[in-house]
Amino acid sequence: MDIVKYDHTAPDELKIPMTSAHDGLFQKVTEDVYCLTVDIVNVCMIGDPNQPFGWVLVDTGMPGKAKEILTALEENFGKAHPAKFIVLTHGHFDHVGAAHDLAELWSVPIYAHEEELPYVTGQKSYPEPDSSVEGGMVAKLSKTFPNDPIQLDDYVQPLPANLAVPGGENEWTWIDVPGHSPGQIALFREKDGALLSADAVITVKQDSLYKVLTQEQEIQGPPRYFTMDWKEAKASAKKLQELKPHFLVPGHGLPMFGEELEEGLHMLVEKFDELAKPDHGKYVN
């Protein structure tokens, strides 16, 4: 079992050569929610990066991408201050790639669900991706995706059990949405219906190479090749629908808003087994 830190020294085989039409796209979603697409995955900033410790980074993208995140901060906020801390929605390689590098640079803690801690402290590997799962070319390529644990040293600690995001002056809470991974979380703010859905609900068909490259928008369940519990994944999608979010920033794909989001979530939950769950695959049953 290999253990890595996923920093800028990550081996070349961990730097997956995947990109999309929206690589590098920086979006201001609201006055204090920002989304940066790093290759094929989103990282989010919540708060004000121009204020000392006034913001939080949610996920850190693909391995070796710390420079891209720092460059986007500089281009959009000038001399941006370090984040107050980093929140990981889960520990898959494409969401934790720059976590160690940025935590070390900024000297800040990393928070993750306690169920994810074994995967980010070098103790346990995720199950192997299911490249046999029903889906497109990305699903077939997933056998090359890393599933070994990373080592975030002493930076990482469990999220508080009271569901509040640490330093919760922004009124964010974390939501337990397992299925795609044992301890996946989403982030929600009730006052404006803001939802960061991680990979529990996404807005691109992630197993299709064409749709990943073009980022054609359509509401979807979690990536099929890396989802290990479809019963929990379905329950998590329903939990997020019941929040009645006003806008959603997913782990993959473009943000979605208003009526389009409401209708998309309703359809996904009503037809989850048809739209999201594959017909076959080693984790289906």
Q: Is residue 150 included in any domain, yes or no?
A: yes
Distance CA 100, CA 8 (A): 9
Specify the DSSP element, H or E, that contains 233.
helix 230-242
Residue 78's CB is within 10 A of a number of other CB atoms, namely: 9
Whether residue 145 is contained in a domain is answered as: yes
Q: Write the pLDDT tens digit of every residue in 57-105.
A: 999 999 999 999 999 999 999 988 999 999 999 999 999 999 999 999 9
* Domain-embedded: residue 141: yes
| 111-152 pLDDT per residue, tens | 999 999 999 999 999 988 876 765 655 555 656 677 888 999
Q: Judge whether 91 and 126 are in contact, CB under 8 Å.
A: yes
Alpha carbons within 13 angstroms on the beta-carbon side of residue 70 total 13
List the domain range (segments joined by +) for residue 262: 12-275
The alpha carbon dihedral of 169, 75, 257, 177 has a sign of: negative
- Name the 3-class secondary structure at 165: coil
Q: Is residue 5 in some structural domain?
A: no
Domain assignment present for residue 284? The answer is: no
Separation between Cα atoms, residue 4 and residue 7, nearest integer Å:
8
Tell me if 62 is assigned to some domain: yes
Q: Residue 143 has what pLDDT?
A: 62
Position 171 scores a pLDDT of 87
pLDDT, tens digit, for every residue of 234-267? 999 999 999 999 999 999 999 999 999 999 999 9
The domain total for the chain is 1
Q: What is the mean pLDDT of residues 18-39?
A: 88
| pTM, two decimal places | 0.90
Average pLDDT, the chain: 86
Q: Contact, 247 vs 261, CB < 8 A?
A: yes
Asked whether residue 82 is domain-assigned, the answer is: yes
Question: CB neighbours (10 Å) of residue 160?
Answer: 12
Residue 79 in any domain: the answer is yes
How are the residues of the chain apportioned to helix, strand and coil, as percentages rounded to the nearest 5? 30, 20, 50
CA atoms of 247 and 262, how far apart (whole Å): 9
| CATH number of the structural domain spanning residue 79 | 3.60.15.10
pLDDT at position 210: 42
- Identify the three-state secondary structure at position 27: strand
